[in-house]
Chains A and B, each alone.
Chain A
């Protein structure tokens, strides 16, 4: 997938901006994260016979202007879940995952092979968290200000634009560092909050997506 260079990135801050129509989208196929990969017996047992991870695909677009990168994620979800008050409220969410080590496994990294997650959730629509993880259950928040977001739900689809500086100074070692001309891998996950999806109960892309950041 090509992350196109543009000189009008601010015109693409809004997920509904007309400019996104001119940017090629990659459709990433998703599947439920397998029960066998759930980190606890309780979760595996509880969800063994329950459907989850039903979001089948995600459309991804990317642009940058040499200083800032923006991704637009768009997926079908006819029920907006953005509130978190009742004990059973789990907001809709989506994430990008970038390896911070060459061989980091796609499912949340591993000890010594960390991954950086950009995690957006509908109860905080205007920002995404940057998390680092070195294995399932190990993620922790690195920063919750570096990645900004704008989100829109049109009754049928979520569209979310995530923006970050290509390079970040704070927590540099725990954040993916990007530059024009770079090729790197990423993958994605989507949580359907209305189905009580959270943690490893999600739809995820079981393969890396190759990103090429246009020089």
Chain B
């Protein structure tokens, strides 16, 4: 009944790691912000009562306040000394609630010319935020305004703060693939996990009185099917595989080419979702002249997200891109391009779910 294991826990100064770890790499240079990932996840997993407001996979416009609003400033995770950082439970409206619309009034009430379609939170209040509230706002001033998309899911961390915070041992990390799951029979809805997760990717289901989050589509993965968000991604930017598979794209991008970086590694949880940081066009100076020495997206901003190696990674990508443009071979570019789908992007998870 109580499935408490040591995997993912700090034991005698060492985090107990799983036998294998599944990971994803998101190539931010390919994300078009279409939200097909979010929708495919929503349709697959979060359609039940109590889950209306849950979006296990989101796409945030960056720079932006994200989902939930201002999650980056909320704390959680581990500090430099390895102690837990206190945080708080974000509110429904901060995540973005399950809005209701006055469709009856607008479409059937004869008031179509006097009123307009407007969202209302389930408690009757006016929404102050939503899961995609600041889409495409971005940062910077014209002509140097800029944005990019940041898809986010549970990071299935190596040292999950949620797992260690739960007083019931209801959260566990699977030894065979490192997927972090909440046992909904063991969970009592205490929500310490929602506080402890620094990425704020856990939701509360008030109907079942439990916490819920991304499950890395484990029932699909167990049958060789890629997670829904990855398989449905039109941009083909979500790589899936085992970190230790030296022939797979994950190992190549994270360990061999070292171009995929964790988001907010300083949170200390060792996330297993990695990002290829975005290149951007050059800045335009006060005279309207292009200054090719500076990228449109400020480097210090990208470093605030992905750490100190961003510049180095962007140089590697640029150099390999130029090689490819000259007609030379580039293993890195070939890996990122994904010529053959699905075998090049999630080689171990190519089964078509329609065939099962």
Give residues in A with beta carbon < 8 Å to B: 38-43, 45-46, 84-89, 136-140, 196, 198-200
- Which residue of chain B has the shortest Cβ distance to A85 in the bound complex? B206
Please determine whether B190 and A42 come into contact, CB atoms closer than 8 angstroms.
no
A139 CA / B170 CA spacing, docked (Å): 11
B220 within 8 A of A: no
**Secondary structure type dominating chain B contacts:** loop
Please determine whether A87 and B89 come into contact, CB atoms closer than 8 angstroms.
yes
A26 CA / B176 CA spacing, docked (Å): 54
Contact of B167 among A39, A45, A88 (CB under 8 A): A39
Please determine whether A199 and B167 come into contact, CB atoms closer than 8 angstroms.
yes
A200 CA / B168 CA spacing, docked (Å): 11
**What 1/0 mask marks residues of chain B from 164 to 202 whose CB sits below 8 Å from any chain A CB?**
111111000000000000000010101110111000000
Residues on the B chain within 8 Å of A46, using CB: 84, 86-87, 192, 195
Contact of B164 among A41, A85, A88, A89 (CB under 8 A): A41
Would A140 and B1 be within 8 Å (CB), given that A86-B92, A199-B167 are in contact?
A: yes
Of all A-B residue pairs in the complex, the 3 with the closest CB atoms, nearest first, are: A42-B165, A42-B84, A39-B167
**Secondary structure type dominating chain A contacts:** loop
* Most chain A CB within a 10 A radius of its CB, from B1, B87, B191: B191
Within 8 A of A (CB), among B258-295: none
B14 within 8 A of A: no
Chain A min CB distance to B2 (Å): 6
Residues on the B chain within 8 Å of A136, using CB: 167
Please determine whether B161 and A199 come into contact, CB atoms closer than 8 angstroms.
no
A85 CA / B206 CA spacing, docked (Å): 6
Please determine whether B204 and A87 come into contact, CB atoms closer than 8 angstroms.
yes
Within 8 A of A (CB), among B130-148: none
Within 8 A of A (CB), among B70-88: 83-84, 86-87
Residues on the A chain within 8 Å of B166, using CB: 40
Would A137 and B167 be within 8 Å (CB), given that A42-B161, A87-B89 are in contact?
A: yes
Please determine whether A42 and B195 come into contact, CB atoms closer than 8 angstroms.
yes
Chain B min CB distance to A93 (Å): 12
A151 CA / B169 CA spacing, docked (Å): 32
Would A38 and B167 be within 8 Å (CB), given that A46-B195, A88-B91 are in contact?
A: yes
Q: What are 20 A-B interface contacts by the 8 Å CB criterion? A: A38-B167, A40-B165, A40-B167, A42-B84, A42-B164, A42-B192, A42-B195, A42-B196, A46-B87, A86-B91, A87-B89, A87-B91, A87-B95, A87-B191, A87-B204, A136-B167, A137-B169, A198-B190, A199-B168, A200-B167
